[in-house]
């Protein structure tokens, strides 16, 4: 297990994807995502879920079930 700032990156991820981070933190997260497969996968999952949700239920939070389905689908394709 590596302690490369994953917790911080994951906490900041949603704000990052909504483009709500300050430029310093944004740069830090971008650097982390480039070097961390786990977090960049997580970011990709968030992006996909957000896209799916925007299309299907107009910005409401993704239901856990949908989130889990997308997560599994992406895991399956990335291995
Ligand atoms: Zn990470």
* Cα 6 to averaged position of ligand 1 atoms, centre (Å): 4
pLDDT single digits (tens) 28-60: 999 999 999 999 999 988 888 877 777 765 555
Question: In which band, very low, low, confident or very high, does the pLDDT at 6 lie, cut at 50, 70 and 90?
Answer: very high
Q: Where do we find the tokens 């994953």?
A: 6
* Cα 62 to averaged position of ligand 1 atoms, centre (Å): 22
* Cα 18 to averaged position of ligand 1 atoms, centre (Å): 19
Q: What is 6-77's CATH topology?
A: Arc Repressor Mutant, subunit A (1.10.10)
pLDDT of residue 65: 80
The number of beta carbons lying within 10 Å of the beta carbon of residue 49 is 21
- CB-based contacts of 44: which residues, under 8 Å, 6+ apart? 74
* Cα 10 to averaged position of ligand 1 atoms, centre (Å): 7
Question: Which of 69, 17, 64 is closest to 40 using CA atoms?
Answer: 17
Contact 16, 40 (CB under 8 A): no
Any idea where the domains of the chain sit in the sequence? Answer: 6-77
How buried is 46 (Cβ within 10 angstroms: 0-12 exposed, 13-18 middle, 19+ buried)? Answer: buried
Q: Length of the chain, please?
A: 79
> What's this model's pTM, rounded to 2 decimal places?
0.65
Average pLDDT score over the chain: 82
């Amino acid at each position: 297990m590596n302690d490369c700032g994953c917790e911080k990156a994951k906490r900041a991820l949603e704000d990052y994807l909504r483009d709500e981070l300050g430029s310093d933190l944004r740069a830090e997260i971008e650097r982390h995502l480039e070097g961390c497969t786990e977090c960049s996968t997580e970011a990709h999952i968030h992006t996909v879920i957000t896209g799916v949700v925007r299309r299907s239920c107009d910005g409401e939070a993704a239901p856990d079930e949908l989130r889990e389905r997308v997560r599994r689908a992406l895991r399956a394709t990335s291995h």
